[in-house]
């Protein structure tokens, strides 16, 4: 299995980085191929340029697609599973990752497809994993868990993936209470992929 992790956190001192390390070792234990798009480390351009907007906004498929976006398309085409890993910032992913969707989900490729343009393949597995300061029960109570799941799973992953799952690793303000369980959930989500 070829796994692509789209990772969005700026700091190696973060808990999200520890989650990345756990995830990597669980994946490598399975002997799968792993590629990581580390959006902050690679300084991924998350702002859409005026020319890119013209292509997207007016569906001008003949306008060029930027090289960095084409490189992401290539990684996607090679993957059997995409895992998005990020911290929850203001009830959503960091702007860096939002910008990845804005630019990499280009028209003709990820939506607005036509016969004459190469379209994104349907990927067997799509997983979103986010860390959150609030505990899961609170995110459920205030409806934020459901809205994050709706946007991530139904819109951003959408019909582009056959099997979709979202894991909210909440309660990171009191890490000692949740960490062990989080790491178990990570192991489980990876081992479920092999079934």
Ligand X SMILES: Cc1cc2nc3c(=O)[nH]c(=O)nc-3n(C[C@H](O)[C@H](O)[C@H](O)COP(=O)(O)O)c2cc1C
Which residues bind to ligand X, rule: CB under 6 A? 9, 14-16, 87-91, 131-134, 172
Q: Min. distance of Cβ 94 from ligand X in angstroms?
A: 8
What number of other Cβ atoms are within 10 A of residue 157's Cβ?
21
Report in angstroms how near the CB of residue 148 gets to ligand X at its nearest.
9
| CB closer to ligand X out of 66 and 95 | 95
Q: How far is the CB of 101 from ligand X (least distance, A)?
A: 18
Residue of minimal CB distance from ligand X? 133
User: In the complex with ligand X, which residue's Cβ is closer, 133 or 158?
Assistant: 133
Distance CA 168, CA 173 (A): 14
Residue 4 or 88: the one with the smaller Cβ distance to ligand X is: 88
CB of residue 8 to ligand X, shortest distance in Å? 10
Quote the least distance from Cβ 21 to ligand X, whole Å: 12
CA 91 to chain centre: 15
> What is the Cα gyration radius of the chain?
17
Alpha helices in the chain (DSSP H): 15-29, 50-57, 67-77, 95-104, 136-141, 144-149, 175-193
Compute φ and ψ for 163, nearest 5 degrees. -120, 130
CA distance 121 to 74: 11
* Cβ at position 19, least distance to ligand X in Å: 8
Choose between 134 and 164: whose C-beta lies nearer to ligand X: 134
User: Nearer to ligand X by C-beta: 37 or 172?
Assistant: 172
Ranges of H-type helices in 58-109: 67-77, 95-104
Distance CA 73, CA 119 (A): 10
Give the three-class secondary structure for 82: strand
By C-beta, is 106 or 131 nearer to ligand X?
A: 131
């Amino acid at each position: 299995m070829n796994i692509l992790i789209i990772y969005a956190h700026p700091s190696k001192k973060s808990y999200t980085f520890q989650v990345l390390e756990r995830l990597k070792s669980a994946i490598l234990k399975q002997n799968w191929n792993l590629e990581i798009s580390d959006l902050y480390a690679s300084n991924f351009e998350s702002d859409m340029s005026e020319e890119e907007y013209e292509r997207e906004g007016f569906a001008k498929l003949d306008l060029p697609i930027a090289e960095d976006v084409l490189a992401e398309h290539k990684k996607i085409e090679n993957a059997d599973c995409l895992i998005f890993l990020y911290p929850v910032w203001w009830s959503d992913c960091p702007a860096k990752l939002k910008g990845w969707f804005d630019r990499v989900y280009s028209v003709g490729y990820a939506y607005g497809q036509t016969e004459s343009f190469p379209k994104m393949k349907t990927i067997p597995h799509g997983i979103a994993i986010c860390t959150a300061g609030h505990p899961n029960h609170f995110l459920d109570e205030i409806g934020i868990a459901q809205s994050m799941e709706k946007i991530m799973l139904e819109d951003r992953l959408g019909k582009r993936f056959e099997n979709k799952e979202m894991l909210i690793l909440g309660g990171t303000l009191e890490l000692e209470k949740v960490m062990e369980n989080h790491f178990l959930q990570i192991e489980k989500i990876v081992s479920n992929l092999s079934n």
